Amino acid sequence: MAPDDDDDKRNFALREQNGDEPSVFSGRTPRQAALKAARRLDPAGSEDNADETELRLREKGTKKVHIYQGWAWEETAPNDSPDWMPEEITEANVSKEGIQHLEEI
C-alpha cells in the first residue's frame, strides 16, 4: 500500500429524513461507506431475520446522495479471530437503490 492511498478515501455524510447529517463515514467507494453505516444498525439474530433500513449517504463536497438498503445481523466470530475480538460480531450488507441529486445543501 502506497503512503498516499488514504488520499483516495472520500467522506460520506449519513443523511436523515429531515436533512440532518449526524455521522460521516469514509471509504474509497460509496458502498464501502454504506457498509460501515450498516454495521451500526441494530443487528438481527441472523441475516434471514434482518430488517432492511434505508441509508442515504451524501458525498461531502457534492450534491449527490447515494441511496442504499442496508441490514445487519450477528454472527459467531471465526475460529482464527484475534483474542480481542468478541465471540459475536456484527456483519452487514447493502444493496444500492440509486442516486439522488440535491437542489441545495
Residue 74 zone, left/alpha/beta (φ > 0; ψ -120 to 50; rest): beta
How much is the pLDDT for 2? 55
Domain membership flag for residue 1 = no
Domain membership flag for residue 2 = no
Domain membership flag for residue 32 = yes
Angle at CA 92, nearest 5°, toward 90 and 94?
165
pLDDT mean by block of 10 residues, the chain; 105 residues? 68 94 96 97 95 97 96 96 95 97 79
Helix extents (H) in 1-105:
30-38
Domain membership flag for residue 59 = yes
How much is the pLDDT for 89? 96
Residue range of the domain that includes 85: 9-101
Q: How many domains does the chain have?
A: 1
CB 43 within 8 A of CB 50: yes
Domain membership flag for residue 29 = yes
Domain membership flag for residue 42 = yes
